[in-house]
Amino acid sequence: MVVFSIDRMLDLPRRTSIPGPGYIRLVARLADVDVAPPGASLPDCLGQWIDWTRAVALSRALDAAPAPVDVAAAAPDADAAHDDCSRTRAALAAAIAGDPRLAPPVLRAGESVTAQFPDFEYFRACHRAHQQAMQAQTGRLRGQLRGRLAAGPPAMVRLADVDAVLEGVLSPKEQSLLAIVPGLLHARFDRLRRAAGQPPGDAHADAADDAWLRTFRRDLREALLAELDVRFQPLEGLVAALRHPGPWTP
């Protein structure tokens, strides 16, 4: 799991290769660490996060026996759901790509300025704003997708029930692990600044020529776009279930 891998990053030694999903590889590169594959299976990893009351709820949702799938009724609003997810994802990606905090200042020809040096808190606020937007929009979409599934045949209803339990179990842990990333980015910011010879106490920087700051802005933008991919993975699974009904069970 992506978020499980983040939890292992702080205590791992540096190695020469970086395995794992794309988001983990990116964050590991920015943090200058490597990530070993989990030593346990996915069910064992999930078992560390699910207490007995939620395990009972999940078991009930999984054990509900669906009736035979009615293919004609198995894809309520599938195209609308796909389009809504696509538009929302594109809007979130465009907001990240177009954020002026993640791009160097644009100067007119011949213009040279010395600007107030942005400290990491400036970028932390940017990162937090985009994370909150992603969380709000993906949460909205996930609830709507479950509502569409609940209007379908029993197998889809059961999938909606299972997803609701899993979101309640996993989302708090996922959010706590994603909250680690700003600290890793802060360390990246400090390493780049030191490597460029920028003293921590220097409050000003040439806004046009700081290559290290452009590098960090690019890294932060890439991290946010990679996180966007991760947050949309559960939605893509639910959309696929709506668009491709068949004799499947969750």
pTM over 0.75: yes
The pLDDT assigned to 76 comes to: 58
pLDDT at 96 over 80: yes
The strand pairing partners of 53, in sequence order, are: none
The pLDDT assigned to 26 comes to: 85
Give Dmax over CA atoms of the chain in angstroms: 72
pLDDT at 116 over 60: no
Lowest mean pLDDT among 70-74, 101-105, 132-136, 196-200: 70-74
CB-side neighbour CA atoms (13 Å) of 108: 0
Lowest mean pLDDT among 38-42, 81-85, 113-117, 226-230: 113-117
For the segment 12-24, the average pLDDT, to the nearest whole number, is 53
Return all residues near 8 (Cβ < 8 A) that are at least 6 apart: 35, 36, 38
Question: pLDDT of 181-224, one tens digit each?
Answer: 999 999 999 999 888 887 665 555 554 447 888 899 999 999 99
The pLDDT assigned to 17 comes to: 44
For the segment 16-44, the average pLDDT, to the nearest whole number, is 68
Q: Choose between 40 and 23: higher pLDDT.
A: 23
For the segment 106-113, the average pLDDT, to the nearest whole number, is 52
Helices 181-195, 22-31: axis angle to 10 degrees equals: 40
| Contact in structure between 148 and 241 (CB atoms under 8 Å) | no
| Contact in structure between 48 and 101 (CB atoms under 8 Å) | no
Q: pLDDT band at residue 11, thresholds of 50, 70 and 90? A: very low
| Contact in structure between 38 and 4 (CB atoms under 8 Å) | yes
Q: pLDDT band at residue 123, thresholds of 50, 70 and 90? A: very high
Domain positions in the chain are 59-243
The pLDDT assigned to 135 comes to: 95
Question: pLDDT of 124-136, one tens digit each?
Answer: 999 999 999 999 9
Question: pLDDT of 139-181, one tens digit each?
Answer: 999 999 999 998 888 888 888 988 998 888 888 888 888 888 9
